[in-house]
Amino acid sequence: MNIPNGELPDFHTIVVNENSRVIIEHPITRSSAPKVSFISPNYDKNRLKNKYKRSANRTAEQIGNKAIEAYKFFYKDDGSKESRAFQRDYIYYGLTPTNSKGNFNRSVTEYISFIEINPKAYYNMSDQKNEGIFDDPSIIKGSVSRKKHDFSSDELIKLMWSEGAYNFRFELFSSNSSRPTVIYIPLKPEDIWNFNYKRSYRNKTWFRDRKYTYSIDPQKFTAKKVDLEHNQISFGKWDLSQEALERYVSIFEEDKSSKKESHIEYELTKLTSTKVNGDIKIGIGTGSSGELSSGINTSTTSKETRKYSYTREEKDDALGTVKIFFYDPIIESKSGNNYVVRTYNTGVVTFGITVQ
C-alpha cells in the first residue's frame, strides 16, 4: 500500500530498507553474529572529513612533501632536464637532473586531492526519481517562506531538497588489470555546490509580521572544491615495470538499474627493459637524454592495445573520461606560499592529483 507524504498510519509499521552500501560478509549462525561491512569505506560518513576551498591553489600541507620535493628539482616549462614533466621520475624513482639511476619507491601512494562538480550536471545527476531509497537528491520546493523567524541553512536544505546523496563512481583503467579499479564516494548536494539562494525580506509593520522568502535555482549554483583525504580515492603506486605510461579515469553518478557487462579498448605505451628493469629505472623521461620527443621516445617504448571488461548500471549518468600521463606534472607552478596543481577536467568533473 502507499501512504501519502505527511500522513502517519494508525497501526504498528515496520519498514525494511534495502541497503545498497553494506554487505554481509558471512551470515548469522547459532554461534556468531553476521559481519557487516561497507562496500566502500567512503560510505562510512564518520570517515569523511571534507573541507571546502574556493582557491585553486593548494597549501604545502595539502600537496604533500614528496610532490614539493619533486617540484624543487623539476619546475621549468622549457623541455630541459629540469622540466616539470619529470616530477614523477623523482617521486617514484628518486631521479634528479644529476642522478640518472633510481629504485622504485613502494611507500608512495597517488590519490585525488580534490574534486569539483560543475553545477550544470544537476539536471543529469538528479534524474532518478520514484525509485524509493535509490532516488537521486533533487529540489522538491523552488521557494519557501516563513514569518517572524529567518531560516537556517540546514532548514533550507531539509525543506527544499529530497534526502540522499549522489553516488559517484570512479573507474581507474591501468595496464596491470583487465578490469578497472572501482572506487565509490557519496556526496550530498550541499557538499559540492553553493546554492546562492535568492533571499527577499518583508519588513514588519503594525499590521503584519516580517516575512522571509528564499528561492533556489540550479542555474545560480557555483561549484565547491571538495578536499579529499588521501585514502578516499587512491590510485595506488605507479610502477612502470608493471604499468604503462597512461591511465584512464571514467566518472559516473550511479543510478540503480539492471547491470550491463561492457568492453572498451585503450592503446597504451610501456617502457622497455632498457629504461625500466624490475625496480630500477635508468634516466629521466623516456629517452637516453630525458627527452619526451612529443610525449614518447619510440626507441625505448612499445605500444599495446588492452581490452577492458566492466559492469555498470545501465542508467548510470556518465560524467566523462580523462587520460592521465605519467609525465604530466603534479605541480604546475608556485604562487606565494601555495602551489598550483595540474587539474583534469572531464567536462563535468575537475580534479587534482597528488602523492603521499
Each residue's pLDDT tens digit, 217-266: 999 999 999 998 877 899 999 999 999 999 999 999 998 888 889 999 99
Q: Which helix (H) or strand (E) holds 90?
A: helix 87-93
Per-residue pLDDT at 13: 79
Residue 1 belongs to a domain: no
Q: Which of 345, 354, 352 is nearest to 120 (CA)?
A: 345
Q: How many CB atoms lie within 10 A of CB 188?
A: 16
pLDDT at 329 over 80: yes
pLDDT at 291 over 70: no
Q: What is the phi/psi pair of residue 166, to 5°?
A: -75, 140
pLDDT at 142 over 70: yes
* Three-point CA angle 270, 274, 276, nearest 5°: 55
pTM of this prediction exceeds 0.85: no
Residue 22 belongs to a domain: no
Q: Which of 299, 290, 272 is nearest to 99 (CA)?
A: 290
Q: How many CB atoms lie within 10 A of CB 209?
A: 12
CB burial readout 333-354, b (16+ within 10 A) else e:
eeeeebbbbbebebebbbbbbb
Q: What is the phi/psi pair of residue 155, to 5°?
A: -65, -40
pLDDT at 16 over 90: no
Residue 27 belongs to a domain: no
For residue 133, name the pLDDT band (cuts at 50, 70, 90).
Answer: low
Residue 31 belongs to a domain: no
The mean per-residue pLDDT over the stretch 300-320 comes to 91
- For 291, which DSSP code? -
Residue 226 belongs to a domain: yes
Q: Largest Cα–Cα distance of the chain, in whole Å?
A: 87
Per-residue pLDDT at 292: 63
Residue 246 belongs to a domain: yes
Per-residue pLDDT at 294: 46
14 vs 274, residue with greater confidence:
274
Residue 12 belongs to a domain: no
Per-residue DSSP letters for 263-282? EEEEEEEEE-TTTEETTEEE
Q: Which of 171, 165, 211, 219 is nearest to 190 (CA)?
A: 165
What residue type is assigned to position 134 of the chain?
A: F
Half-sphere exposure of 265 (CA within 13 A, CB side): 4
Q: Which of 171, 250, 267, 161 is nearest to 214 (CA)?
A: 161
Q: Are 119 and 195 in contact (CB under 8 A)?
A: no
pLDDT at 314 over 90: no
CA 277, CA 136: separation in Å to the nearest integer? 48
For residue 41, name the pLDDT band (cuts at 50, 70, 90).
Answer: low
Work out the burial of residue 193: count CB atoms within 10 Å of its CB; fewer than 13 is exposed, 13-18 middle, 19 or more buried.
buried
pLDDT at 53 over 60: no
Handedness of CA 323, 329, 331, 335 (dihedral sign): negative
Per-residue pLDDT at 99: 93
Residue 11 belongs to a domain: no
**Spacing of C-alpha 17 from chain mean position:** 28
Per-residue DSSP letters for 148-198? SSPPPHHHHHHHHB-S--EEEEEEEE-TT-SS-EEEEEEE-HHHHEE---E
Half-sphere exposure of 162 (CA within 13 A, CB side): 19
Q: How many CB atoms lie within 10 A of CB 105?
A: 16
The mean per-residue pLDDT over the stretch 99-112 comes to 94
For residue 51, name the pLDDT band (cuts at 50, 70, 90).
Answer: very low
Q: Are 125 and 135 in contact (CB under 8 A)?
A: no
What is the number of structural domains in the chain?
A: 1
Per-residue pLDDT at 44: 66
Work out the burial of residue 13: count CB atoms within 10 Å of its CB; fewer than 13 is exposed, 13-18 middle, 19 or more buried.
exposed
For residue 18, name the pLDDT band (cuts at 50, 70, 90).
Answer: low
User: What is the residue-averaged pLDDT of the chain?
Assistant: 86
The mean per-residue pLDDT over the stretch 73-86 comes to 91
The mean per-residue pLDDT over the stretch 270-289 comes to 89
Enclosing domain of residue 331 = 42-355
Q: What is the phi/psi pair of residue 131, to 5°?
A: -110, 15
Q: What is the phi/psi pair of residue 332, to 5°?
A: -85, -40
The mean per-residue pLDDT over the stretch 133-149 comes to 89
